[in-house]
């Protein structure tokens, strides 16, 4: 495998996915979180040509950009404070279990390096990809930096986002 950290991150994700799948119903986002999420994303700088904003500001993640024809699979890129912050792919749970590789899609933008990878299992899917899958974020910045994005003062992953715990 070209990226050994990718395999390690996926193993960690699988270990936590059962707990995430059985968690009680999650509370809805607060009014301030909803306002942040519905904000228009800023114009992309440093992203591939053709990428457009596909989300408002999501706590712990920031804004998401992608080529519409590539959705939902990606790559999807994160931005915050005018800087690229991650590459994301969404992986169908069944394809993941089959051992398929995503090394070519999950790589940093030119000039960036991957600091860490977060893998969140979405047992019921979410808007835009409503089947069980993994959201895999390859971050260019430290974990502590992105956990406060979009007014998330607690620095912890809001329960309503689901997936893996902090």
**Structure pTM?**
0.71
**Is 37 among the domain residues?**
yes
Say which CATH number the domain at 149 has.
3.30.200.270
**pLDDT confidence band for 115 (50 / 70 / 90):** very high
21 occurs within a structural domain? no
Asked if residue 79 is part of any domain, the answer here is yes
pLDDT on residue 22? 34
Q: Is the pLDDT of residue 98 over 50?
A: yes
Residue-level pLDDT at 101: 78
23 located within any domain = no
Nearest to 7 by CA among 109, 119, 95, 110: 119
Tokens for 66, please give them: 């992608």
152 lies in some domain: yes
Nearest to 161 by CA among 30, 67, 13: 30
Whether 22 is covered by a domain: the verdict is no
pLDDT tens digits for range 23-75 = 334 445 455 555 555 566 666 678 998 999 998 888 889 999 999 999 888 89
Output the CA torsion 140→126→151→158 (10° steps).
-100
pLDDT band at residue 99, thresholds of 50, 70 and 90? confident
CB 20 within 8 A of CB 165: yes
Domain assignment of residue 94, yes or no:
yes
The CB-side HSE value for 35 (13 A sphere, CA atoms) comes to 5
Structural domain range at position 138:
4-16+29-161
Residue environment code for 133-150, b if the CB has 16+ CB neighbours within 10 A, otherwise e: bbbbbbbbbeeeebbebb
Q: Is residue 24 assigned to a domain?
A: no
Least confident of 6-15, 64-73, 99-108, 127-136: 6-15
Domain count, the chain: 1
Q: Of the candidates 68, 48, 50, which has an alpha carbon nearest to the alpha carbon of residue 108?
A: 48
For the segment 3-25, what is each residue's pLDDT rounded down to a tens digit? 433 333 333 333 333 333 333 34
What pLDDT is stored for residue 106 in this prediction?
Answer: 87
């Amino acid at each position: 495998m070209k990226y050994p950290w990718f395999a390690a991150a996926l193993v960690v994700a699988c270990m936590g996915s059962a707990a995430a799948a059985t968690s009680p119903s999650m509370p809805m986002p607060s009014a301030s979180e909803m306002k942040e999420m519905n904000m228009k994303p800023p114009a992309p700088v440093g992203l591939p040509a053709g990428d457009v904003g596909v989300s408002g500001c999501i706590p712990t993640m920031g804004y998401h950009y992608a080529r519409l024809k590539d959705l939902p699979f990606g790559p999807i890129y994160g931005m915050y404070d005018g800087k690229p912050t991650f590459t994301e792919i969404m992986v169908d749970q069944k394809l993941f279990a089959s051992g398929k590789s995503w090394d070519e899609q999950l790589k940093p933008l030119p000039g960036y390096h991957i600091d860490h990878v977060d893998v969140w299992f979405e047992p019921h899917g979410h808007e835009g990809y409503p089947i069980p899958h993994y959201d895999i974020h390859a971050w260019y910045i430290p974990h502590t930096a992105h956990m406060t994005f979009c007014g998330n003062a607690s620095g912890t992953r809001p329960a309503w986002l689901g997936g893996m715990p902090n």
